[in-house]
Structures are given as C-alpha cells and as structure tokens.
Amino acid sequence: MSLPPMWIYFRIQKFGIWLPFFFIWPLILIMIIIIIPFTIVIDLLLWFSGNRYHHFTRLAISSLIILSALKGFHAQVQGTNTNIDIQVI
Amino acid sequence: MSEERKRILDMVASGKITAEEAEKLLDAIKIPSETTESSIDQQTKKTPKFMYVKVTSSDSDNVDVKVPLGLIRAGMRLTALIPPHAMNHINESMGKHGMSFDLNNLKQGDIEDLVQNLTEMEINVNAKEGDNVRVFCE
C-alpha cells in the first residue's frame, strides 16, 4: 500500500505553485472521524426502516480511498497561448 | 537440487541410464520450469499502473494526461454505492447516448479483469492534419 499524495503542483502559464497536501490530510482524517458516527447512525436508521440504500458510511470511506488513489495523477495542456500543468505527487 | 534432477543423477550413478539419456531427461525437466518462471515474470510485469492519454496536434497544442489505475478501480467500486434511483437515471442517460450498459451488473471481479487486461490496450488515432491521439496503459 503506497502513501497518499503529499503535494499538488499547479501551474498556469508561467505561474506555478506547490501546495502541501500533507497539511490537509490530518484535517480530512479528523473530519472523517467526526462524520463516521453520524453516518453509522443514519445507515442503521435507514436499514431498520427498510430503506434499500444505507451506505453512507461506505461512501465516506470510499471518498477517502479515491482521494488517496489520486497519487501519480498528471495533466498537462500545452498550447500556443496556454500552459497548464497539474501534478499530484 | 530438485527431486527430479536427483533421481536422474541417481539413475546414472546406479548405471540404469547412460549419460546421454540423463542429459535428455535433464533438458526435458528444465524447459517447463523455465516456461513457468517466464510466465510468472510476465504476469508480475504486466499489471498496469497508469493510463496515459497523449494528444499531439499539428498546431503544437498538446495534451498529456496520466491517470493512476488505482483511481479508476476506486471510481468503479464507487458505482456500487450510487443510490438505485440515481443509477436508473444514469443508465437511462447512457442508453440515450448509445451506451446500453447497465452499471448494476458491474462486479468487482469484472473490474479487476478489465484493469489487468488493459496492458494490452493501445489506441492510436492519426488524423490527416497531423493530429495524433494515443491511449495506452503501462
């Protein structure tokens, strides 16, 4: 299992910036930890009420997994008047 | 030393077979293990990690996109979490655009097979004007 992405690089024309993604991870984890008990309660209520859809907890965890899977993403657009570069490292 | 090789050498030592016969037997047992090792190597090499989309045009407009296949896997798994009414709406919209594909029938095993076989995929489109689109996985 690889580490989640740590940096995001944005460049538009000649201006580029490195954003420290590793600062955001603790905030995201705290948010998920706060949200998970609520989603568990909602899922249980929906399940007992017979609702077919009761996957909000899995949805929250899957969102975290998708964010982690972004590592290695790179998009570069180069044109005569355009220069955009996005990297997730 | 493998069991087969030891048996062959014991047979030579006890005089049951000649050295030439032993050499043929040793060659025969070597070939399947080499094949197995190379196919294992091929399997381990073949798991693609990224999907690349490269567009080059004659006007010097270039687009390069590299998408981790882990992201595609995670995204496909997310389809299992789409609410049923939204899923029906998505299937209808896809059907209207000519893609009669039911996302409800997508299974985890199918996703893994799809990703595994993407190594062999390469799409090359060359236009008259010199534009080129290439999609491949590595």
Res B45: pLDDT: 54
Residues with Cβ within 8 Å of A9's Cβ and at least 6 positions away in sequence, in order, are A16, A17, A18, A19, A85, A86, A87, A88, A89
Res B32: pLDDT: 52
Res B118: pLDDT: 79
For chain B, the straight-line distance linking the first and the last C-alpha, in angstroms and rounded, comes to 37
Res A21: pLDDT: 87
Q: What is the mean pLDDT of residues B24-38?
A: 64
Closest partner CB to B74 (pick from A52, A55, A65): A65
Inter-chain CB proximity A62 and B67 less than 8 Å? no
Which of B61, B69, B111 has the most A C-beta neighbours within 10 Å, making it the best mutation to test the interface with A? Answer: B61
Statement: residue B131 has pLDDT above 80: yes
Closest partner CB to A52 (pick from B63, B66, B84): B84
Residues 57-86 of A with CB under 8 A from B: 58-59, 62, 65-66, 69-80, 82
Q: What is the ipTM of this complex?
A: 0.78
Inter-chain CB proximity B75 and A78 less than 8 Å? no
H-only helix segments in chain B: 3-13, 19-46, 69-78, 84-96, 108-117
pTM: 0.66
Statement: residue B37 has pLDDT above 70: no
pLDDT band at B15 (very low <50, low <70, confident <90, very high): confident
What residue type is assigned to position B116 of the chain?
Q
Return d(Cα B72, Cα A65) in angstroms, integer: 11
- Taking only Cα atoms into account, the Rg of chain A, rounded to an integer number of angstroms, comes to 18
Statement: residue B34 has pLDDT above 70: no
Return d(Cα A39, Cα A63) in angstroms, integer: 13
Show residues of chain A in contact with B62, CB under 8 Å: 76-79
Inter-chain CB proximity A74 and B77 less than 8 Å? no
Res A73: pLDDT: 93
Res B100: pLDDT: 74
- For B85-113, letters b (16+ CB in 10 Å) and e give eebeebbeeeeeeeeeeeeeeeeeeebee
Return d(Cα B87, Cα B103) in angstroms, integer: 7
The per-residue pLDDT of chain A, averaged, comes to: 89
Whether A10 has its CB under 8 Å from any CB of chain B: the answer is no
What residue type is assigned to position A44 of the chain?
L
Return d(Cα B109, Cα B117) in angstroms, integer: 12
In chain A, % of residues over pLDDT 70: 98
pLDDT (tens place) for every residue of chain A, 89 residues total: 567 899 999 999 889 999 998 888 889 989 999 999 999 999 999 999 888 788 889 888 888 888 889 999 999 999 888 899 999 99
Inter-chain CB proximity A65 and B83 less than 8 Å? no
Question: How do residues B60-99 score in pLDDT, each as one tens digit?
Answer: 889 999 999 888 888 877 777 777 778 888 888 888 888 7
Return d(Cα A40, Cα B113) in angstroms, integer: 32
Give the CB-side neighbour count of residue A34, counting CA atoms within 13 A: 6
Which of B54, B78, B79 has the most A C-beta neighbours within 10 Å, making it the best mutation to test the interface with A? Answer: B78
3-class secondary structure per residue, chain A: CCCCCCEEEEEECCEEEEEEHHHHHHHHHHHHHHHHHHHHHHHHHHHHCCCCCCCHHHHHHHHHHHHHCCCCCEEEEECCCCEEEEEEC
In chain B, % of residues over pLDDT 90: 12
Q: Distances from the Cα of B79 to the Cαs of B44, B75, B86, in angstroms?
A: 28, 7, 10
* Pairwise pLDDT comparison (B13 vs B33), residue with the higher score: B13
Min Cα distance B46 → chain A (Å) is 18
Res B1: pLDDT: 60
Show residues of chain A in contact with B61, CB under 8 Å: 77-80, 82
Res A39: pLDDT: 93
A17, β-bridge pairs: A10
